[in-house]
């Protein structure tokens, strides 16, 4: 065989050029192998305490790009966790008796963070402020509302004020209190339950009964407020006039076995809601609710999702993802994963889903859009299947957009 051509000078150059081309083309992934730190985060905030139990309620992004997470600890105490933009622990604050049972919303006002909690002795409501610029991050009690006992839910209104849902055990009524932007009471109104549900309320605070989905909210124009609480023997959504709290309409449940688990106003009479009926869960991303009628929540219909855990917490928020107006549901599955469902706000069509966590149980706390266009989800996981710890999932804008193709 004549090898002269095979191993000639020109042939050799050709072989090596071919080899180098293959190498260079194949090695492109080295140059592309770079991700900005903090774009994606999976973190579990662990310690060696065998007995402590965290239950995160809300998450907000701070001005430094990090996050602050509001959590309850061991059912009653309040815990604030500050983490940096990479998801690493920075500091924490444990607030114990009498400032207990934080309500599941954290509010940022002027760079400071506020939350409401209950006094475990007087049952009154405290407004507490955390100043992150203060190195001690000592909580400061701004105001105590002695007339608001058993606070159950709170949300901010379009005018910068707040509405607080509570339970008046003396009148056996649900109570809604409107605060202005300076935290002064504007009005309050009560809505008769017609039976004593204090044991159910106490069960929520003591952790001995099911944590029913109490929530408050507003129509976008601020004309109507609503709360999900006990009214007329049942867990119902009560719509009230925002100027004085007068009842306008209701969406009744069936005792506490059927009702709504979350609601978000879209526009007009359109709401995105999730509802439960015994152990079944239904998501209705675009449903019409007549706020001036007295209807039954079981008639709303919706998409039944058997994968969602009975009594699961559901969070609904309106976001713009990948240029589309999206209603994003967050909940937890029977396989104990956190799940996001993205629906088209205009027609209620499902656009995509995403799951977080595996093997060990994961439960949703809340989620928030991040300044880099991503999404941060706080939750609870049971490390090694047994230690309840706060977890954080942060996904990049690219990954978030991939949910909504």
Partner 1 sequence: MSITSNKKKLLFATFTKGILAIIFLLLSKPDLFAQDPQIDRKTGLIRGNPYGPDKLNKRKSGNASLGSTGSTGSTPLSFGLKGGTNLTDVRPEDQFSVFSFTEVPNASSAEKQYFKLSDNRGFHFGFIARYAVTGQLSVALEPTFSNMKYSYVNNYTWVDFENNSNSLELNYEHNQTLNYIEIPLLIRYNLLNSFIKPFVHGGGFYGRLLSATKKINVSGTDYAAGNTQEFSNSSSTLGVDDLYIKTHLGLIAGGGLSYQVGPAAVELSANYKIGMNNVVNEANRLSDDTITGGNYDVLDNTKLRNIEISLGLVFSL
Asked if 7 interacts with partner 1 (CB under 8 A), we say yes
Q: How far is the CB of 219 from partner 1 (least distance, A)?
A: 38
Residue 203: Cβ within 10 Å count: 15
d(CA 315, CA 9) in angstroms, rounded, equals 70
Contact call for residue 40 and partner 1 (CB under 8 A): yes
Q: Does 5 bind partner 1 (CB under 8 A)?
A: no
215 lies in the binding site for partner 1 (CB under 8 A): no
**Is position 146 an interface residue for partner 1 (rule: CB under 8 A)?**
no
Q: According to the binding rule CB under 8 A, does residue 383 interact with partner 1?
A: yes
E-state strands within 120-267:
125-130, 140-145, 151-156, 162-168, 173-179, 185-192, 215-218, 224-231, 234-241, 247-252, 258-267
- What is the C-alpha to C-alpha distance for residues 366 and 81, in angstroms, rounded to an integer? 14
The single residue among 18, 63, 64, 89 that binds partner 1, judged by CB under 8 A, is 89
Give the separation between CA 181 and CA 183, rounded to whole angstroms. 5
Site of tokens 């159950």 = 152
Specify the residue, 22 or 141, whose C-beta has the smaller distance to partner 1. 22
Q: Does 384 bind partner 1 (CB under 8 A)?
A: yes
**End-to-end CA, the chain:** 59
Under the criterion CB under 8 A, does residue 43 sit at the interface with partner 1? yes
Find the binder of partner 1 among 133, 323, 371, 386 (CB under 8 A).
386
The answer to whether 359 contacts partner 1 (rule: CB under 8 A) is: yes
Q: Which two tokens stand for residue 259?
A: 């009702």
Question: What span, in angstroms and rounded, lies between the C-alpha atoms of 114 and 185?
Answer: 16
In angstroms, rounded to a whole number, what is the distance separating the alpha carbons of residues 375 and 397?
A: 7
Q: Does position 132 bind partner 1 by CB under 8 A?
A: no
Largest Cα–Cα distance in the chain? 107
Minimal distance, residue 393 CB to partner 1, in Å: 9
Cβ atoms of residues 260 and 253 within 8 Å: yes
Helix (H), strand (E) at residue 398: helix 397-403
Q: Quick one: which segment of 247-255, 279-287, 366-374, 381-389 binds partner 1 (CB under 8 A)?
A: 381-389
Subset of 329-348 contacting partner 1 (CB under 8 A):
337
Sole binder of partner 1 in the list 57, 80, 83, 153 (CB under 8 A): 83
- Residue span binding partner 1 (CB under 8 A) among the ranges 27-35, 120-128, 148-156, 221-229: 27-35
DSSP letters for 248-297: EEEEE-BTTTEEEEEEEEEETTEEEEEEEETTEEEEEEEEE--TTSEEEG
CB 389 within 8 A of CB 34: no
| Residue among 18, 47, 122, 211 that touches partner 1 (CB under 8 A) | 47
Rule CB under 8 A: is residue 95 a binding residue for partner 1?
Answer: no
Residue of the chain from 35, 121, 182, 299 that contacts partner 1 (CB under 8 A): 35
Nearer of residues 24 and 121 to partner 1, judged by Cβ? 24
Interaction of residue 101 with partner 1, rule CB under 8 A: no
Nearer to partner 1, 20 or 350 (CB): 20
Q: Could you tell me the smallest distance in angstroms from the CB atom of residue 334 to partner 1?
A: 16
- Contact positions with partner 1 (CB under 8 A) in 221-260: none
Residues 277-296 that bind partner 1 (CB under 8 A): none
CB 154 within 8 A of CB 137: no
Residue 157 in tokens? 């209104």
Catalog residues that contact partner 1 under the rule CB under 8 A.
Answer: 3, 7, 9, 12-13, 16, 19-20, 22-24, 26-31, 33-36, 40-51, 81, 83, 87-89, 92, 337, 355-360, 362, 381, 383-384, 386-387, 391
């Amino acid at each position: 065989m004549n090898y002269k051509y095979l191993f000639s000078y020109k042939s050799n150059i050709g072989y090596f050029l071919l080899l180098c081309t293959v190498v260079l083309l194949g090695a492109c992934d080295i140059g592309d192998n770079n991700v900005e730190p903090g774009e994606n985060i999976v973190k579990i905030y662990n310690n060696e305490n065998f007995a402590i139990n965290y239950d995160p309620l809300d998450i907000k992004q701070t001005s430094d790009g990090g996050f602050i997470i509001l959590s309850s600890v061991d059912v009653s105490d309040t815990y604030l966790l500050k983490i940096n933009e990479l998801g690493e622990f920075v500091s924490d604050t444990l607030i114990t008796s009498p400032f207990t049972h934080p309500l599941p919303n954290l509010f940022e006002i002027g760079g400071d963070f506020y939350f409401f909690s209950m006094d475990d002795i007087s049952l009154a409501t405290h407004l507490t402020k955390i100043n992150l610029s203060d190195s001690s991050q000592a909580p400061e009690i701004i105001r105590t509302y002695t007339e608001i006992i058993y606070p159950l839910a709170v949300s901010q209104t379009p005018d910068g004020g707040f509405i607080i849902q509570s339970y008046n055990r003396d009148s056996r009524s649900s109570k809604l209190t409107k605060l202005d932007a300076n935290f002064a009471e504007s009005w309050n109104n009560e809505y008769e339950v017609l039976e004593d549900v204090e044991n159910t309320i106490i069960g929520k605070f003591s952790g001995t009964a099911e944590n029913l989905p109490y929530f408050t909210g507003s129509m976008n124009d601020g004309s109507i407020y609503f709360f999900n609480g006990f009214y007329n023997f049942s867990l119902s959504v009560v719509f009230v006039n925002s100027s004085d709290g007068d009842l306008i309409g209701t969406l009744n449940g069936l005792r506490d076995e059927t009702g709504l688990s979350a609601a978000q106003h879209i526009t007009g009479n359109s709401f995105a809601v999730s509802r439960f009926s015994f152990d079944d869960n239904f998501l209705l991303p675009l449903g019409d609710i007549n706020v001036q009628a007295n209807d039954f929540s079981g008639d709303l219909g919706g998409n039944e999702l058997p994968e969602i855990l009975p009594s699961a917490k559901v969070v609904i928020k309106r976001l713009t993802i990948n240029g589309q107006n999206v209603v994003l549901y967050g909940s937890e599955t029977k396989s104990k994963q956190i799940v996001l469902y993205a629906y088209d706000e205009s027609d209620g069509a499902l656009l995509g889903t995403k799951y977080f966590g595996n093997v060990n149980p994961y439960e949703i706390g809340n989620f928030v859009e991040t300044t880099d266009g991503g999404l941060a989800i706080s939750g609870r996981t049971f490390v090694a299947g047994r230690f309840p710890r706060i977890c954080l999932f942060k996904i990049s804008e690219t990954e978030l957009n991939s949910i909504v193709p």
